[in-house]
Amino acid sequence: MVKKARIAVMVSGGGTNLQALIDAQHSGIISCGEIVLVISSRENSFALERAKKAGIEAHVVSKKACGGQDIFETKMIELIDSKEIDLIVLAGFLTILSQDFVARYDHKIINVHPSLIPAFSGEGFYGIKPHVAALERGVKVTGATVHYVNDIADGGEIIAQKAVEVREEDTPETLQKRVMQEAEHRILPESVEKICINIIKDKK
């Protein structure tokens, strides 16, 4: 039996996309990969509870506690390499990674972004901010994008996108929720499975 691709998920907040990945494993949407590690940049992240409930090893690596980017990334590298990780998924991970870190795991890091890149993307566009910008601009369609991570914020090769209609009565909060449910939570697990299939093929 071919081993599954080994996945690390990096988080900072509530972990809704982590939960979508865990659920996708249970339902069989993700069958060629397995989440074996969760890294949170914050001690109070609810994502840690989600990992614990699912029986996934989880660690907190805080940039502030580490005293800087170098030690912060060194600790994450030690964890990632010790678990022989094949794919790193940034799921609401709010700390910018250095060029060296990204280059070390070239085409092994993916991110989900809450807009249709290149719209409302790049430095400063995270969390609810893309949804605020979408409503201020008056766009009729927004959505989510899964992309590879490179040294440019939201600048890596696009893997998948899904559009979501913007409604007249939308607030940033209602739009954020719908983009998560209708786009992020669908295309992220699908993209992970697609990449894991290729990882396994390459290992054969």
**Domains of the chain listed by start with CATH number:** 5-203 (3.40.50.170)
> What residues are labeled active site?
113
Separation between Cα atoms, residue 38 and residue 188, nearest integer Å: 16
pLDDT tens-digit readout, 90-123? 998 988 899 999 999 999 999 999 999 999 999 8
What average pLDDT does the structure give for the chain? 95
Asked if residue 186 has pLDDT above 60, the reply is yes
Reported confidence tier of residue 29, pLDDT bands at 50, 70, 90: very high
CA distances to 16, 30, 51, 84 from 7, in Å: 17, 11, 13, 9
pLDDT at 1: 54
pTM of the full predicted structure?
Answer: 0.95
